[in-house]
Chain A
């Protein structure tokens, strides 16, 4: 019985990760499509494309800094 409750607890926690995993997979596919578009058009990324990527990176870096600072 104890094992069953542990397995159920684990499944619940893994299921809670699925939305995050889906978001990451979506982000991966979007980034891949963006890059393929740039390459197929034979151009460099625009300022707006750089800015969007930079903003995404800055947001995540700030989160990682906060997580480490809270230890």
Chain B
């Protein structure tokens, strides 16, 4: 098998995301993943940061693993907009010869807006919402496409759950560089900040064209997170399609109220059905959460949901169907109708609280 090395400079580049001048956590997570990829490739790790007057944020990227930070500073880049960001990044990446090897973005409303445009511009492969990234060889043996036959070393393995299946797919695009992927916030692990790390911070040119201003941002609203702070909740009570309707969530809210620092979440089917707003959605296309306790009620546990919550500390599943896949990921389960189990949980949690207020019994004695 002939070995084919697609031209690249072995550089791994993270397109960092900032909001109001602050680098977002997903960018530091991407640097953590990118560091591993660059080390395996024997290449460099860098970041591109676009914005305006971002102070020491470029240094933060260095402290989290970037050897070079390319900074585009311009008033028109202060807030993310598709076309100006696309212009600066594609202009800059075209100056690379050979091109960078890998380009990573966050699977955020920004990254998922921008990454496909860059991929389409360079006619290169892009894999969305990866749960793992790695480097390895690939042997293309499919004779239906003979031009591509060969052994490709140093490919980006972009790994993500495949549709509706308990399978994860390894997706590759070794024929064009940069090879691109996005990962969800909370999935990759950042390196600890190390103030002894040093790196270059380089300004990159900004040459915007009139057509880049076809969209203007009029207003940005960050809503007070009323009871939907999934990222920071200790206890998440989550509902699935098995609740049977939006009224099922009322019980879930009652259960969540029994806990300190709790929140209510949902699987995608509930959101699709309009039972609860999107911001409650956990899973592949929603949020990734790691609470101390995750109580899944009426959630069958499709892989798309599990990847969003399977790193929770303790997973409790309540489901009528003993064969539901959620029991494969849960630590504790109750097979039963949530409409009977949850009121009983509420009753016992409240009862225990009242008793504990009165006489503080030794709760852990049964363990």
Q: Do A and B originate from a single complex?
A: no
